[in-house]
Amino acid sequence: MMTDLMKSALLRAAFALAVFSLSFAARAQLTIEITGAGANRIPIAITDFVGEPGVSRAVALVVRADLERSGLFKLVEAGTPLAENAAVNFADWKARGADALVVGSVAPAANGRFEVRFRLHDVQKQASLGGLAYVMTPQQGRATGHRIADFVYEKLLGEPGIFSTRIAYVVKSPGRFELQIADADGMNAQTALASREPIISPAWSPDGTRLAYVSFESKKPVVYVHSLATGRRHVAANFKGSNSAPAWSPDGNKLAVVLTKDGASQLYSLNADGSGVVRLASSAGIDTEPFFSPDGKYIYFTSDRGGSPQAYRIEAGGGTAQRITFEGSYNVTPRLSPDGKSMAYVSRNGGRFQLTLMDLATRQTQILTDSDKDESPSFAPNGRMILYASEIGGRGVLAAVSSDGRVKQKLSVQAGDVREPAWGPFLKN
């Protein structure tokens, strides 16, 4: 005989499963592990929301996990559920050590939907910092949790949160390469392209609807542009020789690419549909890895024109190259922060390849990792974290580090190598 408690627990479990479709293969799941946290984490309590226990608990879990994973918050035990409009005993929360408190309510809405309302309180100032209400389908529980976490993050830290963004990366398993897209927390991984041949250099269009990438499916590198919603794609560059390293202009109209049709690897610009090819720079050696500055004025790139691979920049329309890195004999993959003030790149230091950050105004540099096979840095759209590829125990993993070097995360899949990460832009809504 089942007790009522057992029945309700089972029902809740079944509901949670239905709400948060876990149907994708578990082995493809990207798991994120926090390996370093910020110095001054904000203590925050996030109560379970009142009403609809299955939905409430699941939404609150996403909010907590997001904030904790950021490395900038410390979760304080929240105890019993509190409603969005509940009177808050600030002295009590202060005694528990919370500086901030999130409370909320979930109620059934029309057509099988739910209304989720929440409020953020500043415990020190004993004041509400605002709240929002979302009407969501049962399938949107995770997305709602991410939006609440984004709200809390922005109110408390003064910069937008990235919990609703997506990341792209390539998973290599024996004889198979998959270009996957997942939520920023590694959940909901979906395969955009599966191939027997390598896929490298995914790059998000600024509006987040398309990916440009290099696929070797025709036995040589060819640049494609792929619309994620429709799965339709077209060849953007397939000239004689190799075609690679696509980078979007900030307006989404143009791609900078590397072509070898006129000899060694050189920079070209073309329209996203593949028309209008223009050569941007000219060197006797290798020019590659273009990346537009966020204001669209410059293209940063790697060149060995000075004898060793170093970061350079040219004006986006072409022109004279200006050298950016001078220390060391190997500085590659320059990637600008969203505010354009710093540049992440990979430097070789005594045989170790390490993620490095340069303040472009002062030219001061800081090595951000103590690993030795870092590759492919990609800034989060708020500039806080840098996602990159690395290797642990001979296996490809992704890692992320905050631009101050303190917060560290490791992202890995159970079966396979993960590489070539690209952090997508903010959602427009």
Q: Please give the residue ranges that form the binding site for another protein (CB under 8 A).
A: 198, 200-201, 216, 219-221, 240-242, 244-245, 258, 260, 263-265, 285-289, 302, 309, 330, 332-333, 346, 348, 353, 373, 375-376, 394, 419-420
Return the number of the residue (144 or 376) whose C-beta is nearest another protein. 376
Return the number of the residue (263 or 319) whose C-beta is nearest another protein. 263
Least distance in angstroms from the C-beta of 200 to another protein: 5
Close Cβ partners of 112 (under 8 Å, ≥ 6 residues apart): 137, 138
Least distance in angstroms from the C-beta of 240 to another protein: 6
Least distance in angstroms from the C-beta of 260 to another protein: 5
Return the number of the residue (246 or 381) whose C-beta is nearest another protein. 246
Beta strands 42-46; 73-76: pairing state: parallel
Least distance in angstroms from the C-beta of 99 to another protein: 42
Return the number of the residue (201 or 402) whose C-beta is nearest another protein. 201
Q: Which residues of 337-346 are buried (b: 16+ CB within 10 A; e: fewer)?
A: bbeeebbbbb
Round to whole Å and give the CA distance between 6 and 28.
32
Least distance in angstroms from the C-beta of 391 to another protein: 9
Least distance in angstroms from the C-beta of 375 to another protein: 6
Round to whole Å and give the CA distance between 96 and 80.
14
φ, ψ of residue 187 in degrees (nearest 5): -85, 170
**What is the SS3 assignment for 142?**
helix
φ, ψ of residue 355 in degrees (nearest 5): -65, 130
Return the number of the residue (49 or 248) whose C-beta is nearest another protein. 248
Close Cβ partners of 421 (under 8 Å, ≥ 6 residues apart): 167, 168, 169, 376, 378, 387, 388, 389, 398
Least distance in angstroms from the C-beta of 417 to another protein: 11
Q: N- to C-terminal Cα distance for the chain?
A: 49
Instruction: Tell me which residue of 313, 331, 325 sits closest to 377, measured CA to CA.
Output: 331
Return the number of the residue (241 or 306) whose C-beta is nearest another protein. 241
Round to whole Å and give the CA distance between 390 and 188.
22
Quote the Cα angle for 368-374-376, to 5°: 105
Round to whole Å and give the CA distance between 314 and 211.
24
- Contact between 189 and 195 under an 8 Å Cβ cutoff? The reply is no
Return the number of the residue (62 or 387) whose C-beta is nearest another protein. 387
| Site of tokens 């004279």 | 320
Least distance in angstroms from the C-beta of 201 to another protein: 6
| Site of tokens 């990916």 | 211
**399: buried, middle or exposed (CB in 10 Å: 19+, 13-18, 0-12)?**
buried
Least distance in angstroms from the C-beta of 350 to another protein: 13
Return the number of the residue (115 or 417) whose C-beta is nearest another protein. 417
Return the number of the residue (130 or 263) whose C-beta is nearest another protein. 263
- Contact between 137 and 149 under an 8 Å Cβ cutoff? The reply is no
Least distance in angstroms from the C-beta of 321 to another protein: 16
Least distance in angstroms from the C-beta of 342 to another protein: 19
Q: Where are the beta strands (DSSP E) in 221-351?
A: 222-227, 233-237, 243-248, 254-259, 266-271, 278-279, 287-292, 298-303, 310-315, 322-323, 331-336, 342-349
Return the number of the residue (215 or 365) whose C-beta is nearest another protein. 215
**What is the SS3 assignment for 249?**
coil
Return the number of the residue (183 or 420) whose C-beta is nearest another protein. 420
